[in-house]
C-alpha cells in the first residue's frame, strides 16, 4: 500500500479546522477499538492484539498518519502493553496513539511492520527489553542485547542480580560465515565494531557480491547504557536532567535536555518564563552548530580519509562554540544547564563581553563556511563520491520514520521547531532547509545550510537578550520542590534535536519517579534506513552513506 499523504485534506478522516476529531477516528476504527484513553497531548485508542494492522492501516491510509514516530512497550501487574505513537509529517501536532494490551500469560500481538517499516526495529527492541512478541514480524530477535541474554531487563520480574552465565559454545561466532561458500557468488564481511568508519561500537554485517553491497544488517547495542532504566530510578525535579546530556554526548546536550524538559513540564503543567525560553533557544542552536560541525568533519574523514585540514578546521570552529557554551553553563559537553521551569542561571557577567564573543563568532562564520565549501562541497573527489550515492527517497524515509537532516535532504519538509513550536522559535525569522536529491551530498549541504539558519536564530536571540529589561529577567518559574504528576498520566513529547525528532514518553504512577521512561532516538530510526541507501552500492559508498546519517551510538542503544 502506498504511504503517500492524501492529497485532498477534506477527504482525510478526522481533520477539522480546529484540529482532530477523535470521535471520527473512533468511527473509522470501528470494532477494532476496545476502549479509549486520554493522554496529555493526544487521545489513544485501545485495540485488540489481533487487529493491530487493520487499525494502523486505517489510520495511515484513511486518516493520514504516515509517521510512526515511536513504539513504547511496558509491563503492568496484569498485562503487557505496546503503544504506537502516530503523527503526520504534514502536521505533527495531529497525533494519536494506538494502545495494544496483551495478557501476561501470552504477550503476543500483531506486528505493525507491514504498515510502518520503522516498527521492525522498534518491535525488536520491545521484544528484547520487555518480552512482548509480535506475530508476522519478519525478523523478531534481540536487537540491543546478545542472543544469549537470559530474560528481559525492563520486565517486572527481571532479576538484575542474577549473573548471566553463558557457555563458550553458546556464543555466536561472528566470523562463522566469513568465507566464500562453494558455488556462492557472495562474501560475508564484518565492518566494525571498533572500526574508524563506524564511529564507535557499530558492527555492520555486510554481504558483498563482488565489490557491490548485496545486503547490510547493522548490529547495534554494544554499549548497553540502560538510560531508560536509570531515568526511571530518578526523581523528576533534579535527578533525571543530567542523563540526557549522555545520549548524544558529542555536542547536543542542551538539545537533549530540552526533550526531557518539554515532556516533564507538559506532564506536570509547568510554565517557562519568556526570558528563559530565549536563552534555551539560543543555547540549543549553539549545540546544533557544534553537532553539525562534528558531523561535517567526520564525514570528510570517512569519505576521503582527510584527517588534517577539514577535520581540524571543524574542530577549531566547534571549539569556539564550546567555549561560549562553557561560559554559559560551566561545562563543555555534559552541560546540565536546563531546569524544569527554566534554566540553571542567567547569562554570564559581564554580559557585554559574552555578547561580544558571540557576535565575533557569528561575524566570522560566513567566511568559515565559504572555506568549508572550498575544501569539501566544491571538491571534485568529494562530489564524485557523494553525488547520486546513498540515495534515500522521501517515501522510503517516511516509512522508516527518518527525521532531521536525513529526512529533510530527501525532501521531507518536517521540522518540529516550526511544525510543533516550542521555545521562542515561532517568534523568530528563519527557514527550514530541505533538498530533493536525497543523496550523500544533499545531506552534507543540508547540515551546512542549517548552520547558517542556526546563526540567524542566535543573532536574533542576542538582540532580544541585550535589550531585555533587567527587572524582567526571570530564569525559572515557581516549581514545587517535589513533582508528583497524576497517577497514570501519560505523555509523549519531542523536540528537534541535531539528528532529528528526539522524543520521550513518560507514564506516571503518582510518585516522584516515572513508572516508564521511553526515549525515541532519531539516530535509532535513521540508522534503520542504511540498507535502503547502501544495497547495490559499492563498499566506499556504504561508508559514505553511514557517515551521512551522523549517528551517535550512545543515542542509538541508549
Residue 175: the pLDDT is 60
Looking at per-residue pLDDT, the higher value among 394 and 198 belongs to 394
C-alpha distances out from residue 402 to 242, 314, 479, 492, 521, Å: 27, 26, 35, 18, 10
**528: CB partners within 8 A, 6+ apart:** 117, 118, 120, 121, 218, 400, 401
If DSSP codes are grouped into helix, strand and coil, which group holds residue 74?
strand
Q: How confident is the model at residue 8 (pLDDT cuts 50, 70, 90)?
A: low
Q: Is the pLDDT assigned to residue 156 strictly greater than 70? A: yes
pTM of the model: 0.94
Cell of 249: 554526548
Q: Is the pLDDT assigned to residue 192 strictly greater than 60? A: yes
Q: In whole angstroms, give the CA distance from residue 88 to residue 110.
A: 22
If DSSP codes are grouped into helix, strand and coil, which group holds residue 495?
strand
C-alpha distances out from residue 243 to 53, 62, 261, Å: 35, 39, 12
Cell of 293: 560541525
Q: In whole angstroms, give the CA distance from residue 52 to residue 47.
A: 7
Q: In whole angstroms, give the CA distance from residue 315 to residue 280.
A: 24
Looking at per-residue pLDDT, the higher value among 152 and 249 belongs to 152
Q: How confident is the model at residue 178 (pLDDT cuts 50, 70, 90)?
A: low
Please report, rounded to a whole number, the percentage of residues in the chain having pLDDT higher than 90. 80
Which tens digits make up the pLDDT trace of 537-556? 999 999 999 999 999 998 99
Residue 4: the pLDDT is 45
Q: Is the pLDDT assigned to residue 177 strictly greater than 70? A: no
Residue 250: the pLDDT is 82
Distance of CA 298 to the CA centre of its chain: 20
Residue with cell 525535579: 237
Q: Are strands 43-47 and 203-209 parallel, antiparallel or unpaired?
A: unpaired
DSSP code of residue 246: G
CA neighbor of 192 nearest in space, from 205, 178, 179 = 205
Which tens digits make up the pLDDT trace of 402-431? 999 999 999 999 999 999 999 999 999 999
Which tens digits make up the pLDDT trace of 81-130? 999 999 999 999 999 999 999 999 999 999 999 999 999 999 999 999 99
Which tens digits make up the pLDDT trace of 203-252? 999 999 988 999 999 999 888 888 999 999 999 999 999 999 999 888 78
Q: In whole angstroms, give the CA distance from residue 158 to residue 176.
A: 32
Q: Is the pLDDT assigned to residue 2 strictly greater than 60? A: no
Q: In whole angstroms, give the CA distance from residue 308 to residue 375.
A: 11
Note the helical H segments in 373-439. 380-386, 394-399, 404-408, 416-419
CA neighbor of 346 nearest in space, from 258, 445, 476 = 476
Amino acid at each position: 500500500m502506498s504511504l503517500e499523504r492524501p492529497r485532498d485534506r477534506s477527504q482525510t478522516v478526522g481533520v477539522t479546522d480546529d484540529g482532530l476529531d477523535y470521535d471520527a477516528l473512533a468511527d473509522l476504527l470501528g470494532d477494532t477499538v476496545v476502549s479509549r484513553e486520554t493522554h496529555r497531548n493526544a487521545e489513544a485508542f485501545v485495540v485488540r492484539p489481533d487487529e493491530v494492522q487493520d487499525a494502523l492501516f486505517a489510520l495511515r491510509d484513511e486518516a493520514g498518519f504516515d509517521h510512526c514516530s515511536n513504539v513504547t512497550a511496558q509491563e503492568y501487574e496484569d498485562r503487557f502493553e505496546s503503544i504506537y505513537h502516530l503523527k503526520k509529517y504534514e502536521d505533527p501536532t495531529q497525533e494519536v496513539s494506538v494502545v495494544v494490551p496483551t495478557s501476561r500469560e501470552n504477550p503476543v500481538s500483531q506486528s505493525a511492520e507491514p504498515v510502518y517499516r520503522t516498527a521492525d526495529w522498534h518491535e525488536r527492541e520491545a521484544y528484547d527489553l520487555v518480552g512482548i512478541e509480535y506475530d508476522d514480524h519478519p525478523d523478531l530477535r534481540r536487537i540491543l542485547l546478545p542472543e544469549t541474554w537470559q530474560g528481559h531487563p525492563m520486565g517486572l520480574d527481571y532479576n538484575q542480580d542474577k549473573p548471566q552465565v553463558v557457555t563458550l559454545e553458546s556464543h555466536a561466532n561472528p566470523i562463522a560465515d566469513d568465507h566464500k561458500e562453494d558455488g556462492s557468488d557472495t562474501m560475508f564481511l564484518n565492518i566494525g565494531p571498533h572500526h574508524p568508519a563506524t564511529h564507535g561500537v557499530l558492527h555492520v554485517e555486510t554481504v558483498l557480491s563482488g565489490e557491490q553491497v548485496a545486503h547490510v544488517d547493522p548490529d547495534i547495542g554494544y554499549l548497553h547504557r540502560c538510560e531508560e532504566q536509570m531515568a526511571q530510578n530518578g526523581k523528576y525535579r533534579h535527578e533525571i536532567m543530567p542523563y540526557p546530556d549522555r545520549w548524544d554526548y558529542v555536542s547536543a546536550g542542551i538539545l537533549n535536555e530540552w526533550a526531557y524538559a518539554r515532556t516533564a513540564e507538559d506532564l506536570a503543567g509547568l510554565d517557562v518564563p519568556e526570558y528563559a525560553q530565549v536563552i534555551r533557544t539560543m543555547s540549543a542552536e549553539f549545540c546544533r552548530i557544534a553537532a553539525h560541525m562534528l558531523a561535517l568533519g567526520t564525514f570528510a574523514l570517512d569519505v576521503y580519509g582527510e584527517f588534517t585540514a577539514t577535520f581540524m578546521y571543524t574542530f577549531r570552529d566547534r571549539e569556539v562554540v564550546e567555549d561560549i557554551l562553557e561560559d554559559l553553563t560551566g561545562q563543555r559537553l555534559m552541560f546540565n544547564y536546563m531546569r524544569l521551569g527554566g534554566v540553571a542561571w542567567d547569562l554570564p557577567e559581564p554580559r557585554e563581553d559574552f555578547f561580544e564573543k558571540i557576535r565575533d563568532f557569528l561575524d566570522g562564520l560566513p567566511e568559515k563556511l565559504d572555506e568549508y565549501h572550498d575544501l569539501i562541497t566544491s571538491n571534485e573527489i568529494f562530489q564524485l563520491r557523494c553525488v547520486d550515492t546513498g540515495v534515500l527517497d522521501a517515501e522510503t524515509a517516511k516509512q522508516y520514520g527518518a527525521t532531521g537532516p536525513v529526512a529533510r535532504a530527501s525532501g521531507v519538509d518536517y521540522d518540529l521547531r516550526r511544525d510543533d513550536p516550542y521555545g521562542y522559535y515561532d517568534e523568530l525569522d528563519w527557514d527550514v532547509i530541505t533538498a530533493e536529491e536525497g543523496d550523500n551530498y544533499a545531506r552534507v549541504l543540508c547540515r551546512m545550510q542549517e548552520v547558517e539558519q542556526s546563526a540567524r536564530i542566535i543573532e536574533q536571540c542576542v538582540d532580544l537578550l541585550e535589550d531585555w529589561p533587567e527587572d524582567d529577567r526571570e530564569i525559572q518559574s515557581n516549581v514545587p520542590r517535589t513533582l508528583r504528576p497524576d497517577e497514570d498520566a501519560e505523555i509523549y513529547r519531542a523536540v528537534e534535536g541535531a539528528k532529528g525528532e528526539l522524543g520521550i514518553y513518560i507514564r506516571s504512577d503518582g510518585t516522584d519517579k516515572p513508572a516508564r521512561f521511553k526515549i525515541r532516538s532519531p539516530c535509532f530510526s535513521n540508522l534503520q534506513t542504511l540498507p535502503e541507501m547502501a544495497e547495490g552500492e559499492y563498499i566506499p559508498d556504504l561508508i559514505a552513506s553511514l557517515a551521512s546519517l551522523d549517528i551517535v551510538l550512545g543515542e542509538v542503544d541508549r
